[in-house]
Amino acid sequence: GMGWALLGAGLLLALYTLLRHGLRPAVLPPRSPAALRGRTAIVTGGSGGIGAATALELARGGARVVLAARNALRGEAAARRIRTETGNPEVRFMQLDLASLRSVRAFASAFLRQEPHLHLLINNAGVSAGGTTEDGFSLSFQVNHLGHFLLTQLLLERLQSCAPSRVVIVASRAHCAGRLHPDTLGRPPPGPLSAFQDYCDSKLANMLHARELATRLQGTQVTCYAVHPG
């Protein structure tokens, strides 16, 4: 009856909109090849997905880019691919596993030893999965928030000494469904949707981190942003 006809019309409209607008690549203004020369960026989760696309654009703008990722094979391959595609030789992989706070500390100290500058920290890596880390926190909450929080703290002094600089936290509108309880923070939430709830909670923590960091860094020329991809 009427309901099915409306549903059919709605689906057709959705499909039309998707084909008309959704599958066209966004047209970005051409970046001048030297716009970011002399700037150093870290992109976590830079070996694939949004992270790799971000790293590619930064490299295209002439930045020195560090792909911080867990898997060495994928990380080295992504760095090679970006160097080839952009002609920018200053793209390197460094190993970082956010599910291990020990790895976060090791990465930060290696970075501070090897790289004199940091202008752009992009906390992009994210997971949505159940499980617990070696540190005893739920996986999503540690990878998406706690590991990045520690990483940001460890690199903050370098960001300040290289200012103007920025921290970009890839959050999500899923933060709207987040609930943070201080006494159970970082433990898997109860219930059948535990992994999804944990993801939402981690994204709310991302938002609060970005806001608080921005407040604390006022006047330092280190700016802080939370973004919802897409």
For residue 134, being part of any structural domain is answered with: yes
For residue 23, being part of any structural domain is answered with: no
| pLDDT mean for each 10 residues of the chain (230 residues) | 72 72 60 82 96 96 97 98 97 98 98 98 93 95 97 98 97 83 84 87 95 96 91
Segment 91-126, tens digit of pLDDT: 999 999 999 999 999 999 999 999 999 999 999 999
Taking the C-alpha atoms of residue 136 and residue 143, their distance in angstroms, rounded to an integer, is 12
Q: Are 197 and 223 in contact (CB under 8 A)?
A: no
Counting the structural domains of the chain, the total is 1
Whole-prediction pTM: 0.85
Residue 78, domain extent: 30-225
For residue 9, being part of any structural domain is answered with: no
For residue 17, being part of any structural domain is answered with: no
If you write DSSP's letter for every residue of 131-144 in order, what string do you get?
-B-TTSSBHHHIII
For residue 37, being part of any structural domain is answered with: yes
For residue 6, being part of any structural domain is answered with: no
Segment 3-20, tens digit of pLDDT: 777 777 777 777 776 676
pLDDT for residue 27: 61
Task: Report DSSP state, residue 162.
Answer: T
pLDDT for residue 33: 62
Peptide bond into 164 cis (omega under 30): yes
For residue 217, being part of any structural domain is answered with: yes
- For residue 146, the domain's CATH number is 3.40.50.720
- The tokens describing 146, both together, are 């706690």
Active-site residue, selected from the candidate residues 199, 207, 222, 224: 199
For residue 22, being part of any structural domain is answered with: no
Q: Please indicate whether residue 199 is annotated as part of the active site.
A: yes
